[in-house]
């Protein structure tokens, strides 16, 4: 019962973080990270004039792709000290919004840390919020990306065990695994398979 309440609190907290990240992205008056050439390519395909069935990305297609792609992630990750909590990721198309990323915050403070990230030529706006609990740290992630003229958001969380609770050599193995953990290549692979 205690764990159910804790996970409910984590889910509510994560929802608030995602909302805060989206507000940060949309309320910014800063220059978009898209180049003029990129914006021209997007403008050529004015999706606001398309019906829902003609859009490049449908919510149903994204949900199915996410379920298929992320369904066996535990096998892909092959981690001993990190495990997914909210899985598969929640994927949403944010129609009519433009990509802007306002870098701010701290991962361990309310609202988390938001930063721009370029991976293999693709731009992402990533928000991370981490909070400690007895024996573990929970990190919530929100990835935003302009994909084929639509803003797509993925949100999920992972549990990181407290490595200092282990004796050697497991403590060193745990620290090494967590220091080298990077989910971005997997998120990027998800977007790449959508094409």
The Cα–Cα gap between 31 and 33 comes to 6
Flag whether pLDDT at 22 surpasses 50. no
Residue where the block lists tokens 């692979």: 189
Angle, to 10 degrees, between the axis of helix 184-194 and the axis of helix 59-70?
A: 130
Which domain does 78 fall in, by range? 2-194
* Bigger pLDDT: 63 vs 52: 63
Q: Is the CB of residue 56 less than 8 Å from the CB of residue 150?
A: yes
What's the domain count of the chain? 1
- Token output for 193: 């398979």
The Cα–Cα gap between 33 and 11 comes to 30
Could you report the per-residue pLDDT of 134-184, keeping only the tens digit for each?
A: 889 999 999 999 988 889 999 999 999 999 999 999 999 999 999 999 999
- Token output for 12: 């509510």
Q: Is the CB of residue 174 less than 8 Å from the CB of residue 165?
A: no
């Amino acid at each position: 019962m205690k764990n159910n309440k804790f996970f409910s609190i984590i889910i509510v907290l994560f929802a608030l973080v995602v909302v805060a990240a989206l507000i940060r992205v949309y309320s910014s008056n800063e220059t978009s990270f898209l180049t003029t050439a990129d914006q021209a390519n997007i403008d050529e395909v004015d999706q606001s004039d398309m019906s829902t069935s003609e859009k490049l990305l449908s919510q149903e297609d994204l949900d199915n792709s996410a379920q298929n792609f992320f369904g066996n992630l535990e096998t892909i990750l092959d981690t001993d000290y990190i495990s997914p909590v909210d899985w598969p990721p929640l994927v949403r198309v944010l129609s009519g919004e433009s990509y802007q990323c306002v870098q701010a915050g701290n991962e361990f403070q309310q609202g988390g840390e938001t930063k721009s990230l370029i991976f293999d030529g693709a731009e992402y706006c990533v928000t991370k919020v981490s909070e400690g609990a007895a024996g573990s740290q929970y990190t919530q992630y929100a990835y935003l990306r302009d994909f084929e003229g639509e803003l797509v958001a993925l949100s999920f969380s992972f549990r990181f065990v407290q490595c200092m609770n282990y004796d050697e050599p497991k403590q060193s193995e745990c620290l090494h695994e967590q220091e080298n953990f990077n989910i971005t290549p997997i998120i990027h692979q998800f977007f790449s398979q959508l094409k």
